[in-house]
């Protein structure tokens, strides 16, 4: 029997959780604006100084790789020292990465530019943990809504980030240098909000505590395994398509501003549904919401392959954003609901290691696929066709999870 089933229980007080959600929404909105900025210009800036066009999207891949390799130790650090320490390190990494990336761009040093991109991945990793932090002090009923509201903070970053690209792209003789300087300022100012966060550091473990299971044993839990697979596929496919979108848009004869507007619409679609995604999860369950997300991702691929007019790009990227939102938030809620408290640091770090590991592969593949054919249209089709096997994997895993025999107590 749960506490809520007994008449002696007190109503759950989510005031602290709601305050933390407000802080994390502000962080997602302000600090998060750097990610659409970097993703709009990363491939274009890389194309300027890369030794070959095939490496144009490598800077974006290094950001995701940085996030992947940072996630395990950053999660472990937050398990010991608390969320604030990890988020401050993330903002510092974002600022340092932008400084080094700007220097690399100004000196036409591709290796230096890649180093800056890798350090930017530290921020990306920290931002990924905002959603888990929202659940730390929330009740079971408020948890999916808290996660969803924090993700909704990205709606503001979706509006601000691409517009800042337009304002800062040509501030200096070196294109995009002003954008990287703006990212430095965003991180320096934005880290202040984390001093308002009220999430106690986890208590130190004692010999009497239930032991943390090995990672492979944890992954055998159906809820955790399916959550990781679906989060991995939703995020990797979103990144696969989004990374090559600016190159495809410009390659089809449209402008950088057109590419920025399309990415802006995409990021809006990623975060705008978050105002009600949590409510849908609470009502219908995480599995059904993830399923709708996978269908939207498939529809995005179909829209992209239907043509290369501006409306095709806009439609495909909007569907891609909606699919990511339902798939990723649904998977995050499923993971949080199936994770033991003492295993949060291990599970969350392992989840993001796997997710961003495949996102790294996807962004690397994106650059190769978009340049794989005789023209950009062929390459763009290859990018979207690559979604099919992974959607099949995630869809099959989700169907298995829904139809499997349930154990007592599940």
pLDDT digits (tens, 9 = 90+) for 337-373: 888 877 887 888 888 888 888 887 887 788 788 888 7
Q: How far apart are CA 144 and CA 132, in angstroms?
A: 10
**Which residues contact residue 300 at a Cβ distance below 8 angstroms, ignoring those fewer than 6 apart?**
241, 316, 317, 318, 319, 320, 323, 384
**pLDDT band (50, 70, 90) for residue 43:** confident
Retrieve residue 246's tokens: 């600016």
Average pLDDT over residues 98-127: 94
Residue 171's CB: how many other CB atoms inside 10 A?
Answer: 14
Cα–Cα nearest to 145, from 395, 11, 333 = 333
pLDDT tens track for 176-191? 999 999 999 999 999 9
pLDDT at 409: 40
pTM of this structure: 0.75
What span, in angstroms and rounded, lies between the C-alpha atoms of 331 and 148?
Answer: 12
H/E/C letters for each residue in the chain?
CCHHHCCCCCCCCCHHHHHHHHHHHHHHHHHHHHHHHHHHHHHHHHHHHCCCHHHCCHHHHHHHHHHHHHHHHHHHHHHHHCHHHHHHHHHHHHHHHHHHHHHHHHCCCHHHHHHHHHHHHHHHHHHHCHHHHHHHCCCCCCHHHHHHHHHHCHHHHHHHHHHHHHHHCCCCCCCCHHHHHHHHHHHHHHHHHHHHCCCCCCCCCCCCCCCCCCHHHHHCCHHHHHHHHHHHHHHHHHHHHHHHHHHHHHHCCCCHHHHHHHHHHHHHHHHCCHHHHHHHHHHHCHHHHHHHHHHHHHHHHHHHHCCCCHHHHHHHHHHHHHHHHHHHHHHHHHHHHCCCHHHHHHHHHHHHHHHHHHHHHHHHHHHHHHCCCCCHHHHHHHHHHCHHHHHHHHHHHHHHHHHCCCCCCC
Measured CA to CA, the distance from residue 241 to residue 323 in angstroms comes to 12
**Structural contact between residues 333 and 299, judged by C-beta atoms closer than 8 angstroms:** no
Query: What pLDDT sits at residue 25?
Result: 93
pLDDT for residue 8 is more than 60: no
Predicted confidence (pLDDT) per residue in 197-207, tens digit? 988 877 666 55
Q: What's the confidence (pLDDT) of residue 184?
A: 95
Long-range own/partner contacts, residues 104-111 (CB < 8 A, 24 or more apart): 104/49, 105/45, 105/48, 105/49, 105/174, 105/176, 105/177, 105/180, 106/174, 106/177, 108/48, 108/49, 109/49, 110/46, 110/49, 110/50, 110/51, 110/55
Q: Set out the domains of the chain in order of their start, with CATH numbers.
A: 14-201+216-403 (1.20.1250.20)
Distance CA 186, CA 408 (A): 50
Instruction: Say what the pLDDT of residue 217 is.
Output: 87
Query: In this predicted model, which residue has the larger pLDDT, 54 or 225?
Result: 225
Q: What per-residue confidence (pLDDT) applies to 208?
A: 59
Say whether pLDDT at 163 is over 90: no
pLDDT of residue 4: 38
């Amino acid at each position: 029997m749960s506490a809520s089933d007994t008449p002696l229980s007190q109503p759950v007080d989510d005031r602290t959780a709601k305050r933390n959600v407000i802080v994390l929404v502000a962080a997602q909105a302000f600090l998060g604006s750097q990610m659409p900025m970097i993703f709009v210009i990363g491939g274009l800036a890389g194309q300027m100084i890369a030794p070959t066009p095939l490496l144009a999207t490598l800077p974006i891949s290094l950001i995701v790789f940085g996030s992947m390799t940072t996630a395990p130790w950053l999660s472990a650090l937050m398990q010991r020292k608390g969320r604030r320490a990890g988020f401050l390190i993330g903002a510092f990494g974002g600022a340092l990465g932008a400084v080094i990336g700007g220097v690399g761009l100004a000196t036409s040093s591709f290796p230096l530019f890649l180093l800056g991109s890798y350090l930017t991945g530290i921020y990306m990793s920290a931002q990924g943990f905002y959603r888990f932090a929202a659940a730390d002090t929330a009740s079971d009923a408020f948890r999916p809504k808290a996660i969803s509201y924090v993700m909704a903070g990205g709606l503001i970053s979706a509006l601000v980030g691409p517009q800042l690209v337009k304002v800062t792209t040509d501030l200096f003789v070196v294109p995009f240098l002003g954008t990287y300087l703006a990212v430095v300022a965003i991180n320096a100012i934005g880290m202040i909000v984390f001093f308002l966060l009220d999430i106690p550091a986890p208590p130190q473990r004692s010999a009497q505590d239930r032991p943390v299971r090995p990672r492979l044993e944890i992954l055998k839990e159906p809820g955790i395994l399916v959550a990781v697979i679906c989060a991995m596929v939703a995020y990797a496919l979103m990144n696969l398509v989004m990374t090559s979108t600016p190159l495809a848009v410009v390659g089809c004869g449209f402008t950088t501003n057109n590419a920025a507007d399309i990415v802006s619409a995409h990021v809006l679609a990623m975060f705008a549904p978050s105002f009600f995604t949590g409510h849908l999860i609470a009502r219908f369950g995480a599995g059904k919401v993830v399923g709708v997300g996978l269908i939207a991702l498939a529809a995005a691929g179909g829209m992209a392959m239907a043509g290369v007019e501006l409306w095709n790009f806009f439609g495909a990227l909007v569907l891609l954003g909606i699919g990511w939102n339902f798939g990723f938030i649904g998977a995050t809620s499923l993971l949080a609901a199936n994770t033991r408290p003492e295993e949060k640091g291990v599970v969350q770090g392992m989840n993001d290691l796997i997710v961003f590991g495949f996102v790294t592969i996807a962004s690397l593949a994106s650059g190769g696929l978009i340049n794989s054919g005789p023209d950009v249209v062929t390459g763009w089709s290859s990018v979207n066709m690559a979604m099919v096997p992974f959607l099949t994997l995630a869809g099959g895993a989700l169907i298995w999870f829904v139809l499997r025999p349930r154990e007592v107590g599940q």
